[in-house]
Structure 1
Amino acid sequence: MPLPDWFDFRHPDYNRVYKLRSERLELMRNTPGMANGLKDYYAENPSDFINDWGMTFDPRNAEIGLPNTIPFLLFPKQAQFIDWLIARWKSREDGLVEKSRDMGLSWLCVAAAAWMWLFKPGTVVGFGSRKEEYVDKLGDPKSLFWKCRQFINLLPEEFRPVGYDEKKHAPHMRIINPETGSTIIGEAGDNIGRGNRTSIYLKDESAFYDRPETIDAALSQTSNCKIDISTPNGNGNPFYKKRHSGKIPVFTFHWRDDPRKDDAWYQKQINSLDPIIVAQEIDIDYNSSRGDVWITGDLVTAAQGNGPADVEAVGGWVVGVDAAHMGDDESVIHKRKGRLNLPQVFRRGADGQQLAGAVEEECRQIEDSGGWIHSIIIELDGPGVSAYDFLKKGKYAALVLGVHTGTRLKDDRNYNLKARLWRTARDYLKDYPVCLPNDSELKSQLSSYRYGYRDGMLLMQSKKEYKSETGKSPDRADAFVLTFAAPEKPMKKPEEYKPNILPKGMNGGWMR
């Protein structure tokens, strides 16, 4: 049956729902063949199965005089999600779900898993979360497998598998259907993706995994349908990048889709919760969902919303060069003239000589278009030393400045040069308008870099710490920030000044 028209989610009449279910159950039991016919129907209509027979649990109901265990009635957005999820499985494609808090996603996923377990023989549904206790912990309603066992146990016996015994068939991290061979399995932490092959894999709160890219690599070999489900956790992680990649289907569960919530509920959250929690867990705000980032996402968004014609580009070009360390790291060349920043140039696998050649080629393009080079800044803390040595032997030797960003400062504000550069970069972005290339990876890196204080002075997290958290090196952000190490006066006075001419073919980064 569809959701009854008379049902009010804010003032639910569960007694009336129980009466209807009892009448339907009696009719089914007194009508030969009806149970088998319903099973055939439910095998293709999961939302109806959940609405007709599903149960859920909410311990908060006790405080308002309602039972804790209640009929699972799907509001429209929840029913849409069930259909969307099954469509991903049938299409053998990945998907992502971004959500506000308390939208019933855990119970929805459990109900969908139980439906597959009951009606789709041979399927394997996987659940993963960052901690084992969130997947399966005996007697803990917070865990996914507690919910799953409850959902199965509270179904009419006609829909439970013949011979099913919870003690025998639902051990730790596993629920087996003895009738169909279908299984629900659980994994946690770094073990996610290392078990059986699965028909569909549901990744709970995946924006908070410690090593998400390692988990993605493992799951890529074991499942054709992987569903990331999470509230936001900033914009420097793979969950954010998947969400904004345009490559996979996205389902958004916003609190306004929940008929139990209204503006008064939202205002209460604002009044009682930290603004970061409101942004992260209620408003699905990626840019504001971390309180320890130095450059907030809104500053980068504003700068990326401007084109070259919207800003002043005066003076010479400063070229920042961040050399790759290894593996997937990028060598990045960033070109800035006043408030104008050109699309970055990337090189993978380039040695010092090749990177120096690429830098010189970019500088020649600038000069051929009438610009002049103020300075070339390259970091010497690592593989940049080789490129620096080659640049110092070339045409632009007099313009090359090597810096050690770990150099300690004595200005009582910044712990080292890196901190001063990031402080200057943030001030620069605040000094509206600025034009940055419309690059989501650059935005992600700039607005996820964390900071702290040591001895009362600003200290940015290390590149190693950043890579450990996000799985990638912040090469694009670092190349941009390095441009602020340029000396105030040009290192070499240009023979001829031709202002504000873009290099040929270099304006494509602002195409929307």
Structure 2
Amino acid sequence: MPLPFPFDFKNPDYVQVFEWRMERLQRIRKAPETLPALRQFYRTNPAQFIIDWGMTTDPRNLDYGLPVTIPFLLFPRQEEWIDWIMERSRNHENGLTEKSREMGLSWTSVGLASALCLFNREMVIGFGSRKEEYVDSTVDPKALFWKVRKFIATLPAEFRGGWDERKHSRFMSVEFPDTGAVIKGEAGDNIGRGDRTTLYFVDEAAFLQRPLLIDAALSQTTRCRIDLSSVNGMNNPFAQKRHSGKISVFTFHWRSDPRKDDEWYRKECEKIDNPIIVAQELDLNYQASAEGILIPSEWVQAAVDAHIKLGIQPSGQRLGAMDVADEGRDKNACSLRYGFLLSDVQEWSGKGSDIYDSVVKVFGLCDDFGADEFRFDEDGLGAGVRGDARAINELREAEGTDQITATPFRGSGRVFYPENEAVPGDNGKPSRLNKDFFANAKAQGWWHLRKLFRNTFRALKGMEYDPDEIISISSTDGK
């Protein structure tokens, strides 16, 4: 029973909540003999305790005419998260939580830890983060232990358990005198180096500097470790665990927050003005947040059926492209485009066949598509495509069938138009030329593809564009 009345998270009425809480508190104070049973209930129902009595703070509320300190009303996904953690704890197993930013999980984890320690004897809960100031600071509200102290201090006296901040709170430690429980904090390489814990939260686990060192330490000091983090690419243990299939994963996407909707997302995208950050911190896209990424995921997604969105039709040459593989794990591929429209992509294994068979298949795909030319990667395995294509064309000529031109592309070769401008100069500096900016033709080709996706993304935002300098990806196979 979260609340006995409807609550609108977008337009909150905290007066009603305060009145409801005050009425309940008056009943408890008139009948204090009910407290032991209530405490016993909260012992295994921490989410309900937070909803009934917890408070949270958000200085940004002043912008909306709301008080900074408000009732802590969990929304459904936060309740589910607490239940999920309780299950992990009962089963003595670890868990991982991936989250969009600004989901209130710091406060939720602090409220859960405080509720458990208030009503469970000798429980020890740990919090760790990569920097000490993120764990404890007496003046910074973003610090986890600032939140712990605030949460306990704003509870009704009946539920504080004799807690006094001056007596029971030290740096990186909060004690609970009635139960002998404690919440402790650690930072950096010291995470997991202290005493054993019942439950341990690792905050922003994807951003730890030496995560493997911490993994080893925590494996010896807790049976239930909960990693929380926003996304930071794939090159870290957090991401690897998340995709391993060996650990329970809880996802906190921004759509789980009833305060947020598509209009909120649109405004956030405009405010952030960086598709990589949006994909990383809002959309939980592990690939988009990887360092050195060339084409943001948002640009690629926007290009799907871009010609339909822009109200234009493709024209020009029909062209194929082939990437050749052998009998190993890599696959052969053939893409087909009509002007700016990528119409179809096919892939197949080379197992049990040879390169010649794959070239024959590409010829057939080009015939079906109406393309009279395809390009192929001549580096490595592709070197044999030229001879196979010549042999196939000789057979086609003998049969009276139109020939298809196979044009080689050598990514390791010299750049095209070496004297042309690659990047304009600024502040009086000269432009960088293609021959100076690109190491080879492959790098130049990838950069050109990036520009096509960027131009398309901008066109869809209403900016002027050249139809010959965009790309559209068909959502359906076809000619």
Give the TM-score normalised by the residue count of structure 1: 0.61
SS of 1:412's equivalent in the other structure is: helix
Aligned AA for 1:106? S
Q: What residue is the counterpart of 1:199 in the other structure?
A: 198
CA gap 1:31/1:335 in 2 versus in 1, 3 angstroms: closer
> In the TM superposition, what is the alpha-carbon distance from 1:369 to its structure 2 partner?
8.2
Q: In 2, distance between residues paired with 1:13 and 1:299?
A: 40
Q: What residue is the counterpart of 2:164 in the other structure?
A: 165
> In the TM superposition, what is the alpha-carbon distance from 1:289 to its structure 2 partner?
1.9
Q: In 2, distance between residues paired with 1:23 and 1:337?
A: 68
Q: In 2, distance between residues paired with 1:181 and 1:89?
A: 19
> In the TM superposition, what is the alpha-carbon distance from 1:61 to its structure 2 partner?
0.6
Match of 1:412 among 433, 436, 440: 436
Q: What residue is the counterpart of 2:243 in the other structure?
A: 244
Q: What residue is the counterpart of 2:86 in the other structure?
A: 86
SS of 1:251's equivalent in the other structure is: strand
**1:51 counterpart = 2:51:** yes
| Residues 95 and 249 in structure 1, CA contact (< 8 A), matched pair in contact too | yes
| 1:300-339 matches, cutoff 5 A | 314=324
Higher RCO (Cα < 8 Å, 6 or more apart): 1
SS of 2:106's equivalent in the other structure is: helix
Q: What residue is the counterpart of 1:22 in the other structure?
A: 22
Q: In 1, distance between residues paired with 2:240 and 2:223?
A: 20
CA gap 1:367/1:122 in 2 versus in 1, 3 angstroms: closer
**1:210 counterpart = 2:209:** yes
CA gap 1:247/1:31 in 2 versus in 1, 3 angstroms: same
Q: In 2, distance between residues paired with 1:225 and 1:421?
A: 51
| Residues 78 and 108 in structure 1, CA contact (< 8 A), matched pair in contact too | yes
| 1:362-377 matches, cutoff 5 A | none
Q: In 2, distance between residues paired with 1:121 and 1:146?
A: 23
Q: What residue is the counterpart of 1:351 in the other structure?
A: none
**1:182 counterpart = 2:196:** no
| Residues 317 and 375 in structure 1, CA contact (< 8 A), matched pair in contact too | no
| Residues 60 and 68 in structure 1, CA contact (< 8 A), matched pair in contact too | yes
Q: In 2, distance between residues paired with 1:277 and 1:4?
A: 39
CA gap 1:160/1:335 in 2 versus in 1, 3 angstroms: closer
Per-residue CA distance 1:67-105 (angstroms, 9 max, x = gap):
000001111111111111111111111111111111110
Q: In 1, distance between residues paired with 2:55 and 2:201?
A: 21
SS of 1:33's equivalent in the other structure is: helix
> In the TM superposition, what is the alpha-carbon distance from 1:371 to its structure 2 partner?
8.3
Per-residue CA distance 1:439-498 (angstroms, 9 max, x = gap):
xxxxxxxxxxxxxxxxxxxxxxxxxxxxxxxxxxxxxxxxxxxxxxxxxxxxxxxxxxxx
CA gap 1:339/1:367 in 2 versus in 1, 3 angstroms: closer
Aligned AA for 2:249? V
Q: What residue is the counterpart of 2:73 in the other structure?
A: 73
> In the TM superposition, what is the alpha-carbon distance from 1:421 to its structure 2 partner?
10
Per-residue CA distance 1:393-434 (angstroms, 9 max, x = gap):
xxxxxxxxxxxxxxxxx963457xxxx69849969999xxxx
Per-residue CA distance 1:23-78 (angstroms, 9 max, x = gap):
10010011141111100111121111111100000111111111000001111111
| 1:250-289 matches, cutoff 5 A | 250-274=249-273, 275-289=275-289
| Residues 199 and 223 in structure 2, CA contact (< 8 A), matched pair in contact too | yes
| Residues 176 and 183 in structure 1, CA contact (< 8 A), matched pair in contact too | yes
> In the TM superposition, what is the alpha-carbon distance from 1:156 to its structure 2 partner?
1.0
Q: In 2, distance between residues paired with 1:193 and 1:83?
A: 24
Q: In 2, distance between residues paired with 1:107 and 1:251?
A: 17
SS of 2:183's equivalent in the other structure is: strand
Per-residue CA distance 1:125-171 (angstroms, 9 max, x = gap):
11011111110011211100000001111111111123x22122110
CA gap 1:213/1:297 in 2 versus in 1, 3 angstroms: farther
> In the TM superposition, what is the alpha-carbon distance from 1:203 to its structure 2 partner?
0.7
Per-residue CA distance 1:100-136 (angstroms, 9 max, x = gap):
1111100000011001111121111110111111100
| Residues 125 and 201 in structure 1, CA contact (< 8 A), matched pair in contact too | yes
CA gap 1:140/1:338 in 2 versus in 1, 3 angstroms: same
CA gap 1:32/1:174 in 2 versus in 1, 3 angstroms: closer
Q: What residue is the counterpart of 2:218 in the other structure?
A: 219
> In the TM superposition, what is the alpha-carbon distance from 1:193 to its structure 2 partner?
1.1
**1:107 counterpart = 2:107:** yes
Q: In 1, distance between residues paired with 2:135 and 2:353?
A: 60
Aligned AA for 2:191? I
Q: In 2, distance between residues paired with 1:144 and 1:31?
A: 35
| Residues 14 and 70 in structure 1, CA contact (< 8 A), matched pair in contact too | yes
Per-residue CA distance 1:199-225 (angstroms, 9 max, x = gap):
111011111111111111111111111
Aligned AA for 1:235? M
CA gap 1:21/1:375 in 2 versus in 1, 3 angstroms: closer
Q: In 1, distance between residues paired with 2:442 and 2:213?
A: 29
Q: In 2, distance between residues paired with 1:289 and 1:368?
A: 38
Give the TM-score normalised by the residue count of structure 2: 0.65
> In the TM superposition, what is the alpha-carbon distance from 1:5 to its structure 2 partner?
3.2
Larger radius of gyration: 2
SS of 1:114's equivalent in the other structure is: helix
Aligned AA for 1:37? A
Aligned AA for 2:278? V
Q: What residue is the counterpart of 1:34 in the other structure?
A: 34
Q: What residue is the counterpart of 2:231 in the other structure?
A: 232
Aligned AA for 1:102? E
Q: In 1, distance between residues paired with 2:333 and 2:444?
A: 13
Q: In 2, distance between residues paired with 1:39 and 1:237?
A: 41
CA gap 1:335/1:297 in 2 versus in 1, 3 angstroms: farther
Unaligned residue ranges in structure 1 (runs of 5+): 302-310, 319-333, 341-365, 377-409, 431-512
Identity in percent: 52
CA gap 1:32/1:428 in 2 versus in 1, 3 angstroms: same
Q: In 2, distance between residues paired with 1:236 and 1:243?
A: 12
Q: In 2, distance between residues paired with 1:229 and 1:244?
A: 15
Unaligned residue ranges in structure 2 (runs of 5+): 302-320, 335-349, 357-378, 382-433, 451-479
